């Protein structure tokens, strides 16, 4: 299995690199947001989303016709024992405004186990990769979650989307800040999660996030030694779930704060 998985990781990395270059070439100029389309409230759709997803889907179908495929824009296109899950542009709200904090995210899962993750942020010149049991890497160098144990020194990203009531988001924010953590909101769930894997932040928490936003990051976080809530349990793969990913030393206290704020309700 490890040779077959390594081959998939190598091929996936090449595909994601090419996809990222295509997305970069299509990125709107700053100030173009007024003409960008919305799928729903604060849910952006750009020309690149469809084009990049189609490119990745076709390339994977050629390389691994036996594998399943699920994309943010086109849904569950093919089924197989292994499932590739792509978010063609994560951080679309940033991308649509010509900003840099966005990425192409491609994960591979088997049932409820994350096997591979590739995240490429072209404008930031960063690539994150991981294979189950073989470590996590940023631009080819090993990465690890932070060793922080004290929430009064911690940085925590609290992700937001309009999919959950604002009052619950406020409760979560209040719960995290009451523990003394400094908060961030960067607009890309995938990049917020790999920030935890590389130790640039100590946790990422969000009331609801979808599989395509986290599929790649789950493999990377696990290999980097971060603590991650059981996202793939229950209806997570189909309907999304809350997520908390944290440095092990602050995970317990944060899980408590998030629980008190009703994050998993
Ligand atoms: C969104 C971003 C955002 C997160 C949302 C996601 P998109 O994905 O990752 O940071 O808070 O939950 O839906 O729309 O940029 O692919």
Nearest-CA residue for ligand 1 atom 12 is 209
131 phi/psi in degrees, rounded to 5: -130, 135
* Choices 3.20.20.140, 3.30.465.10, 3.40.50.80, 3.30.540.10: CATH for 2-142: 3.30.540.10
CA 75 vs CA 50, 70, 139, 197, 264: distances in Å:
12, 5, 30, 27, 25
**Ligand 1 atom closest to residue 187's alpha carbon, by position in its atom list:** 10
Q: What is the DSSP string of 252-265?
A: HHHHHHHHHTTTT-
Q: Hey, which of 189, 194, 210 would you mutate to test ligand 1's pocket, going by the most ligand atoms within 8 Å of its Cβ?
A: 189
Q: Hey, which of 91, 102, 196, 204 would you mutate to test ligand 1's pocket, going by the most ligand atoms within 8 Å of its Cβ?
A: 91
Task: Give the Cα-Cα-Cα angle 39, 187, 131 (nearest 5 degrees).
Answer: 100
What residues have CB less than 8 Å from 241, skipping those under 6 apart?
208, 209, 229, 230, 231, 233, 234, 235
Distance 149 CA to ligand 1 centre (A): 28
Q: Give the residue, 104 or 262, on which the prediction is more confident.
A: 104
Distance 146 CA to ligand 1 centre (A): 24
Distance 86 CA to ligand 1 centre (A): 13
Q: Give the residue, 171 or 39, on which the prediction is more confident.
A: 171
Nearest-CA residue for ligand 1 atom 8 is 90
Distance 91 CA to ligand 1 centre (A): 6
**Ligand 1 atom closest to residue 188's alpha carbon, by position in its atom list:** 10
**pLDDT for the residue numbered 126:** 98
Kindly report the pTM of this predicted structure: 0.95
Delimit the CATH 3.40.190.80 region(s) of the chain.
151-260
Q: How far is residue 154's CA from residue 72's CA, in Å, rounded to a whole number?
A: 32
Q: How far is residue 202's CA from residue 60's CA, in Å, rounded to a whole number?
A: 34
For domain 151-260, the question of CATH label 3.40.190.80 is answered with yes
**pLDDT for the residue numbered 114:** 98
Give per-residue pLDDT as tens, 9-59. Answer: 999 999 999 999 999 999 998 876 656 677 777 777 778 889 999 999 999
Structural tokens at position 237: 């793969």
Torsion of CA 166, 172, 174, 175, to 10 degrees: 160
Nearest-CA residue for ligand 1 atom 16 is 90
Distance 166 CA to ligand 1 centre (A): 16
**Ligand 1 atom closest to residue 160's alpha carbon, by position in its atom list:** 11
Structural tokens at position 23: 């997305």
- Residues touching ligand 1 (Cβ under 6 Å) are 87, 90-92, 159-161, 187-189, 206, 209, 213
Give per-residue pLDDT as tens, 49-107. Answer: 899 999 999 999 999 999 999 998 887 789 999 999 999 999 999 999 999 999 999 99
| Most confident residue range from 26-40, 164-178, 184-198 | 184-198
């Amino acid at each position: 299995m490890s040779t077959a998985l390594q081959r998939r990781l190598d091929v996936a990395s090449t595909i994601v690199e090419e996809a990222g270059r295509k997305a970069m070439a299509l990125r709107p100029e700053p100030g173009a947001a007024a003409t960008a389309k919305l799928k729903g409230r604060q849910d952006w759709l750009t020309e690149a989303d469809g084009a990049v997803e189609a490119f990745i889907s076709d390339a994977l179908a050629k390389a691994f016709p036996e594998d399943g495929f699920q994309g943010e824009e086109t849904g569950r296109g093919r089924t197989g024992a292994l499932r590739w899950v792509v978010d063609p542009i994560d951080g679309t709200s940033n991308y649509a405004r010509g900003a840099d904090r966005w990425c192409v995210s491609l994960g591979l899962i088997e049932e409820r186990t994350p096997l591979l993750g590739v995240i490429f942020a072209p404008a930031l010149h960063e690539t994150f990769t991981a294979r189950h049991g073989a470590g996590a890497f940023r631009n080819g160098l090993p990465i690890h979650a932070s060793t922080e144990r004290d929430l009064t020194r911690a940085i925590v990203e609290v992700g937001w989307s309009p999919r959950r009531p604002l009052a619950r988001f406020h409760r979560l924010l209040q719960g995290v800040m009451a523990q003394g953590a400094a908060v961030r909101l960067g607009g890309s769930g995938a990049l917020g999660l790999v920030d935890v894997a590389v130790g640039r932040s100590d946790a990422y928490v969000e009331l609801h996030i979808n599989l395509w936003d986290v599929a790649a990051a789950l493999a990377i976080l696990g290999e980097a030694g971060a603590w991650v809530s059981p996202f793939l349990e229950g209806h997570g793969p189909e309907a999304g779930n809350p997520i908390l990913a944290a440095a092990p030393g602050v995970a317990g206290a944060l899980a408590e704060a998030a629980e008190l704020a009703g994050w998993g309700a």
